[in-house]
Amino acid sequence: MPEERIVDLNEIELEAPGGTQATHSAAPAGARDRIAERVTRVSDTLHRRALELELEGGLKSKAAPAVRRASLAADASAEYVRANDLNAMRHDLEDGIREHPLRSMAIAVGCGYLLAKILD
């Protein structure tokens, strides 16, 4: 099994999309913290699943790196939610949609499809 590299997200400088430095705000931090905690739990679950896939071997082990990347992305997302207020996140989202409209539409359609499958 490959040696596992543990990343401490406290040592990584987070930069919001668009190059703005993450800022703290006194806005509803409690709600942001709850959301960030849930995303962190998802990240932990993904990390455990990546380890399980590696141990299973075979074809399933080939999915482990992608699951691990998703786990790291969820960790970074949780930290971003903790570090930014709602207005900064809204501004970053608007900028991202303006810069990549087709990607944004594809993501929206994909999310809608998944939501419809979950609620069906």
pLDDT tens digits, 89-115: 999 999 999 999 999 999 999 999 988
102 Ramachandran zone, left/alpha/beta (phi>0; psi -120 to 50): alpha
Q: CA torsion sign, 43 to 25 to 84 to 87?
A: positive
Q: Provide the pLDDT for residue 60.
A: 87
Categorize the per-residue pLDDT at 28 as very low, low, confident or very high, splitting at 50, 70 and 90: low
pLDDT: is 6 or 59 the higher one?
59
Which amino acid, residue 6?
Answer: I
CA 3 to chain centroid, in Å, comes to: 24
Partnered with residue 15 across adjacent β-strands are 21
| Burial of 77 per CB tally in 10 Å (0-12, 13-18, 19+) | middle
How confident is the prediction for the chain on average, in pLDDT? Answer: 81
Residues 36 and 79 sit within 8 Å (Cβ to Cβ): yes
29-48 b/e (C-beta count within 10 Å ≥ 16 → b): eeebeeebeebbebbeebbe
Q: Where are the domains of the chain?
A: 9-84
Instruction: Report the first-to-last Cα separation within the chain, whole angstroms.
Output: 40
